């Protein structure tokens, strides 16, 4: 029996099911679905039964159309008789009939009827867990891991809703599982935001060290930047370099966001040469987000999220500098379970002249703020720096 998901569905839901299929297969989950996987010349019913027998999990896409289909009920009965794990995924607000209750009464299910796309991450995590279970217990109603996966998704949705009003970009970052980097461990990430609030200028500088922990060579990384205002990639002035012992080599940066302008900008940064398994390299890149300070809410914050780094992150250095005096700094961690708490971090107040990595800006801009060091980043956490502004611009002779 292979680690395959048999997708039971109504053909009348083809478009919606194909969307689910694409998400699953893009995440690396192997799927069997009719009519795509049917062999020509073979009896239809026999192939369906064989498909069910050879799968480990049946994903039941429950809809009004599926509920009215006798074929779906036959597939469920076959899966039950073969002791297969069944995961119902409701894309419509359906109520089980007595026949469905008989077969599915002790099955954990995902109610995605409000908006199925919001539950794809939970679906993928649940299937990944079920496919890798050592014991194929078909009664999943009280499975603690499935319940924990569901709780994480509920917490995530609640946090996104709470933060959407106060900070658009943070909510977008938490909700962005696109393009997960399954190859690289991020040994360190250093990010410094340099803001010129009176002139509505925002620039982001990052220094990272990554190691290829995959089994094949890699030639790029993907970066996501979220903002509170829409911008065009062509206006972001995105530049990147690879750092070698004695030189910096400029790198090619390609936008992955087709619709412009956008609140989220994905870019692909290509390495100078392939990074072999086990090898490490250092990168530096910078970008602008024109007009961003003008979209800030009254409760200011800047954030960085690691949901797209499955291999993990080591050390984080995260700071904010502005030409307007800042105060009231706090740093908060959003855990892998999407709960918030104070971050375990060390704080250092600096001026831009104190930051040697920003030496090209010394003497060109007068800015100050704070930098936090998080020595042990937790899982797929996100971090937010909260701060306030004094409502005046720094005088040339003002001492920080």
* CATH number for the domain harbouring residue 325: 2.60.40
Give the separation between CA 72 and CA 202, rounded to whole angstroms. Answer: 54
Give the separation between CA 382 and CA 393, rounded to whole angstroms. Answer: 31
Give the separation between CA 215 and CA 277, rounded to whole angstroms. Answer: 6
pLDDT digits over 71-103, tens only? 999 999 999 999 999 999 999 999 998 989 999
| 20 and 127 housed in the same domain | yes
pLDDT digits over 199-213, tens only? 999 999 999 999 999
| 197 and 323 housed in the same domain | yes
List the beta strands (DSSP E) in 183-217.
184-196, 201-212
In the structure encoding, which two tokens stand for residue 255, read together? 């936008």
**Residue 293 is assigned to a structural domain of this protein:** yes
Domain end position, chosen among 142, 159, 184: 142
Q: Is 385 left (phi over 0), alpha (psi -120 to 50) or beta?
A: beta
Nearest to 53 by CA among 28, 74, 81: 81
| 257 and 346 housed in the same domain | yes
| 80 and 47 housed in the same domain | yes
**Residue 159 is assigned to a structural domain of this protein:** no
pLDDT of residue 134: 77
**Residue 160 is assigned to a structural domain of this protein:** no
Mean pLDDT over residues 179-193, rounded? 93
| 196 and 284 housed in the same domain | yes
In the structure encoding, which two tokens stand for residue 123, read together? 């679906």
Helix (H/G/I), strand (E/B), else coil: 86: strand
Q: CB count, 10 Å around CB of 203?
A: 21
| 93 and 210 housed in the same domain | no
Environment class of 382 (CB within 10 Å of its CB; exposed 0-12, middle 13-18, buried 19+): buried
pLDDT greater than 60 at residue 395: no
In the structure encoding, which two tokens stand for residue 370, read together? 């704070």
Domain end position, chosen among 92, 126, 142: 142
C-beta separation of 58 from 85 below 8 A? yes
| 313 and 236 housed in the same domain | yes
The CA-based dihedral angle spanning residues 358, 316, 198, 227, taken in that order and rounded to the nearest 10 degrees: 120
| 38 and 121 housed in the same domain | yes
pLDDT of residue 167: 83
The CA-based dihedral angle spanning residues 81, 82, 83, 86, taken in that order and rounded to the nearest 10 degrees: -90
Higher local confidence (pLDDT), 365 or 298? 365
Which residue has 């839901």 as its token pair? 13
pLDDT digits over 318-358, tens only? 999 999 999 999 999 998 888 899 998 999 999 999 999 99
pLDDT of residue 400: 39
The pLDDT-based confidence of 154 (bands split at 50, 70, 90) is confident
**Residue 240 is assigned to a structural domain of this protein:** yes
Total-model pTM:
0.76
| 188 and 129 housed in the same domain | no
> What is the DSSP-derived secondary structure letter of residue 391?
S
Range of the domain at 370: 167-389
| 201 and 248 housed in the same domain | yes
**Residue 116 is assigned to a structural domain of this protein:** yes
pLDDT digits over 273-292, tens only? 999 999 999 999 999 999 99
**Residue 156 is assigned to a structural domain of this protein:** no
Domain end position, chosen among 103, 127, 142: 142
| 359 and 249 housed in the same domain | yes
pLDDT of residue 397: 45
**Residue 207 is assigned to a structural domain of this protein:** yes
| 9 and 136 housed in the same domain | yes
Q: Kindly report the backbone phi and psi dihedral angles of residue 69, in degrees, each rounded to the nearest multiple of 5, phi listed first.
A: -100, 125
pLDDT greater than 50 at residue 183: yes
Give the separation between CA 114 and CA 109, rounded to whole angstroms. Answer: 14
CATH of the domain at 124: 3.40.50.10140
Q: CB count, 10 Å around CB of 52?
A: 20
Q: Which H or E run contains 85?
A: strand 85-90
ω into residue 180 within 30 of 0, thus cis?
no
C-beta separation of 260 from 271 below 8 A? no
**Residue 359 is assigned to a structural domain of this protein:** yes
Environment class of 286 (CB within 10 Å of its CB; exposed 0-12, middle 13-18, buried 19+): middle
User: How many domains does the chain divide into?
Assistant: 2
Kindly calculate the radius of gyration of the chain based on its CA atoms and give it in whole angstroms: 25
pLDDT cut 90: percent of the chain above it:
66
Q: Kindly report the backbone phi and psi dihedral angles of residue 368, in degrees, each rounded to the nearest multiple of 5, phi listed first.
A: -150, 160
In the structure encoding, which two tokens stand for residue 190, read together? 């250093």
Nearest to 365 by CA among 378, 375, 379, 355: 355
């Amino acid at each position: 029996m292979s680690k395959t998901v048999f997708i039971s569905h109504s053909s009348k839901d083809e478009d919606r099911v194909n969307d689910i299929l694409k998400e699953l297969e893009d995440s690396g989950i192997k799927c069997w679905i009719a009519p795509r996987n049917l062999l020509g010349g073979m009896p239809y019913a026999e192939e369906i039964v064989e498909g069910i027998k050879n799968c480990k999990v049946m994903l039941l896409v429950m809809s009004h159309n599926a509920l009215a289909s006798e074929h779906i009920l036959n597939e469920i009965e076959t899966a039950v008789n073969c002791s297969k794990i069944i995961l119902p995924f409701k894309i419509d607000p359906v109520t089980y009939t007595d026949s469905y209750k008989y077969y599915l009464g002790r099955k954990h299910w995902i109610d995605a009827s409000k908006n199925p796309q919001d539950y794809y991450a939970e679906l993928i995590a649940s299937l990944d867990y079920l496919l890798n279970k050592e014991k194929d217990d078909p009664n999943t109603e009280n499975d603690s891991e499935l319940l924990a996966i569901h709780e994480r998704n509920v917490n995530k949705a609640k946090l996104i809703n709470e933060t959407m009003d106060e900070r658009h970009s943070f909510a977008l970052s938490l909700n962005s599982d696109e393009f997960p980097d399954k190859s690289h461990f991020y040994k360190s990430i250093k990010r410094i935001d340099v803001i010129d609030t009176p002139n509505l200028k925002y620039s982001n500088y990052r220094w990272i060290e990554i190691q290829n922990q995959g089994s094949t060579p890699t030639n790029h990384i993907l970066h996501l930047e979220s903002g509170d205002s829409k911008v065009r990639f062509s206006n972001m002035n995105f530049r990147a370099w690879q750092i070698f012992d004695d030189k910096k080599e400029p790198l090619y940066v390609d936008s992955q966001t087709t619709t412009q302008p956008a609140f989220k900008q994905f870019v692909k940064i290509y390495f100078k040469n392939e990074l072999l398994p086990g090898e490490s390299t250092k990168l530096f890149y910078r970008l602008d987000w024109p007009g961003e300070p003008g979209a800030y809410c009254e409760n200011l914050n800047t954030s960085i999220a690691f949901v797209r780094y499955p291999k993990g992150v080591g050390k984080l250095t995260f700071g904010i500098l502005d030409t307007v005096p800042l105060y009231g700094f706090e740093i908060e961690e959003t855990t892998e379970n999407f709960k918030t708490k104070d971050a375990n971090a060390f704080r250092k107040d600096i001026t831009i002249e104190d930051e040697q990595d920003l030496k090209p800006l010394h003497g060109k801009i007068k800015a100050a703020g704070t930098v936090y060091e998080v020595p042990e980043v937790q899982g797929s956490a996100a971090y937010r720096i909260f701060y306030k502004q004094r409502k005046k611009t720094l005088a040339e002779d003002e001492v920080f």
